[in-house]
Structure 1
Amino acid sequence: MDAMALYEEACANENALSGFYHRNVRVEDGSRPLLVRIPGPGAEPMDLTLWPEPDVLKAIRPYVTRAPRLVHAGVDPVFQIHEFIEGRRVDEIAQDGKPLPDLVLDGVERFFAEVLAVPATALGAVPAGWPGDGDTRGFARLVLDFARGLRDRADASTDALYRALGVPDDPCGLLLERADAELVQRPFRLLHGDVHRKNMILSDGAGLVVLDWELALWGDPVYDLADHLHKTAYTASDRARVLAGWERVAPVDCRAGAPSGLAFYLGCEEMKSALVDTVRWGRRIAAAEVDRERRVLAEELRAKLLAAGAHWDGGPTPEAAEIEDAVLRLLV
């Protein structure tokens, strides 16, 4: 395999499937399909990260049976080559809010069973200052401090938009107070950190495969469950089934205080989603050329802000028309 030739072919390909942090291009090495994964230019870090993705994929290989296999990791330039997994992305099978087939729901349960069993010894060291094993409150502070940093680094126009939309200067204060009351010690586990419909493929040969391990963390296992539930938009019955499956496969000590922990982290995710999507949806609204598209996006952003409002001490949430006007006044 000529990795550099495949990389150059991928760079020249205009039909890449782009995520937030990477461009993903299918290439052929003889008769073998592969995926070249290239960091996107200048993507703003909107998520907490810990390890390089190739290191994670190497570490989990003996434990997580349904994850992409790393074929090559380039350093200069930085890129990865993964095995290409044939199948359908789960969001193509059923959009947000629609019921999912048994194969997907069973696969999610199996995925959590395997991830929760990955030993710390298989993974890389965590940096100095990372919360110690079981320090769930410390882990929550880490998550919230990162979210606070997203708010603090806003440029002048984004800061003005935050203020116009009722986002407080400190969106994390109330959640930090809740952390002490609602979190109990739980042993840390490997967290994927980004399991949702677009990151899952249903493969005829391998079942459910979870992609994109770039946001993997070492922390409170209930956080991974909350992040997944928040991003996947299950129906009520599918959500109940996923919760029951997680409870079946999670070790007893990982389930300690799980209901209150889950409610807390779901609040964290709603808060962070509003912070991040004020920027992302704001740009989409500003770029939209059709009035109806702008209004739909503004209504979606308003729903995110309303959900977050229960977790911060901010101003009133504007109506969709006011959000649209604020974006066009401040970001265009």
Structure 2
Amino acid sequence: MQLHGRIARIPECVEVGDFCLQGFIEGRTLGSGPLRSRTLSPRHTGQLGQLFRELVAIKSDELETVERRCEPQDRLPDGDTTGFLHRLIHFTEDRFYSGHVTQYGTLFDELGVCGAQLDGLRCQSEQLTDRPFTLIHGDLHRHNFIVDSAGDLWTIDWELAVIGDPLYELATHLHLMRYPEREEVRIAKLWQAEVESVLPGSSLNWEQDLPILLAYKRAQSAFTDIIRTALALGPGPEPNWRILPRAAWKLQRVLAAAQEPLALRSVPTLQQVLSAYANWFRSSAARSAP
């Protein structure tokens, strides 16, 4: 299914033989230069609201002919928001913890994070309200919004798009954008009004369910950012000492945000995070030494 024509400001894709070429949008990301404000202008607020409307207007049954990665028997029934979150939790545990525990297990251990800590979120997901599934971009952060020369907001990088709970779109957006509290409330209410105007019921019980999905996003970030930080500090045998303090500070904030969702007994101090990476690099170098 072509999204061009359904989403107002999206790069056009052209098929050339076996390849699909995406058009280039000239401009700046919303997260660069003078555009780095933590609040949205009225113009961009309106265009974000339009994007929310356009996304929920594309319902799951319209996407039946789209090539999908999962097998038909693995596809969830429309509206199964609990099953949707269960799949996300399993993906996080399997891909980012179990799939990397051989390489990063000692680092996870020293930072007090393990896959079993996601079980609490699985229990909370049983409380979710069913909502009709729609198209979800899944990665609406500042660097995936391009502001062109006319000041219009374009949405790029659709490779994480999925079919699922539309409230997950809002949770992901709020988590990634790091709005101030008042702006977060304003954008959440904007989302609710916009999606209900197109698909009644798509925001059902959103105020009760949003904290659960936000908790998942904070927990997910703990797993992904532990690995990303190690990669950013590499390749070793010592971490990049110049960037380690800031990287450790950022990760310490991520772990603090994940303390409640993951039921962490304590949040590592900045010094403990620094030591964990220094120790991991040294032990990795020792294991790989001839």
Find 2:48's aligned residue among 86, 105, 108: 108
Find 1:91's aligned residue among 21, 31, 49: 31
Find 2:79's aligned residue among 118, 131, 134: 134
Identify the residue that residue 288 of structure 2 maps to in structure 1: none
How far has the Cα of 1:223 moved from its partner? 0.5
SS at match of 1:255: coil
RMSD of the TM alignment (CA)?
Answer: 2.0
How far has the Cα of 1:314 moved from its partner? 3.7
Identify the residue that residue 202 of structure 1 maps to in structure 2: 147
Identify the residue that residue 102 of structure 2 maps to in structure 1: 156
Identify the residue that residue 204 of structure 2 maps to in structure 1: 256
TM-score (ref. length: structure 2): 0.86
Structure number with higher helix proportion = 2
Distance 2:180 2:133 in 1: 29
Identify the residue that residue 303 of structure 1 maps to in structure 2: 253
SS at match of 1:245: helix
Q: Which has the higher contact order (CA 8 A, sep 6+)?
A: 2
Cα pair distance change 1:326/1:115, threshold 3 Å: same
Identify the residue that residue 177 of structure 1 maps to in structure 2: 123
How far has the Cα of 1:205 moved from its partner? 4.6
Alignment pair present for 1:312 and 2:262: yes
Q: Give CA deviations for 1:191-246 in whole Å, capped at 9, x if unaligned.
A: 00001000001124582111000000000000011001100111233322211211
Distance 1:63 1:206 in 2: 20
Distance 1:269 1:321 in 2: 25
Q: Give CA deviations for 1:88-108 in whole Å, capped at 9, x if unaligned.
A: 21001433x723322222211
Distance 2:253 2:17 in 1: 41
Identify the residue that residue 66 of structure 1 maps to in structure 2: 9
Distance 1:329 1:266 in 2: 32
Distance 1:102 1:74 in 2: 42
How far has the Cα of 1:154 moved from its partner? 1.4
Distance 1:233 1:214 in 2: 22
Distance 2:22 2:249 in 1: 38
Identity %: 26
Distance 1:199 1:142 in 2: 24
Distance 1:157 1:325 in 2: 17
Distance 2:104 2:8 in 1: 42
Cα pair distance change 1:80/1:325, threshold 3 Å: farther
Cα contact 1:286–1:327 (8 A) shared by 2: no
Distance 1:121 1:134 in 2: 12
Gaps of 5+ in 2: 283-290
Cα contact 1:285–1:324 (8 A) shared by 2: no
Identify the residue that residue 215 of structure 1 maps to in structure 2: 160
Identify the residue that residue 325 of structure 1 maps to in structure 2: 275
Cα pair distance change 1:122/1:269, threshold 3 Å: same
Distance 1:236 1:275 in 2: 25
Identify the residue that residue 273 of structure 1 maps to in structure 2: 221
Identify the residue that residue 179 of structure 2 maps to in structure 1: 234
Cα contact 2:30–2:142 (8 A) shared by 1: yes
Cα contact 1:108–1:242 (8 A) shared by 2: no
Cα contact 2:60–2:78 (8 A) shared by 1: no
- One-letter identity of the residue aligned with 2:206: A
Cα contact 2:138–2:162 (8 A) shared by 1: yes
Farther off after superposition, 232-241 or 302-311:
232-241
SS at match of 2:14: strand
SS at match of 2:116: coil
Cα contact 2:39–2:183 (8 A) shared by 1: yes
SS at match of 2:225: helix
Cα pair distance change 1:162/1:137, threshold 3 Å: same
Distance 1:120 1:59 in 2: 14
**Corresponding residue pairs, total:** 269
Alignment pair present for 1:118 and 2:66: no
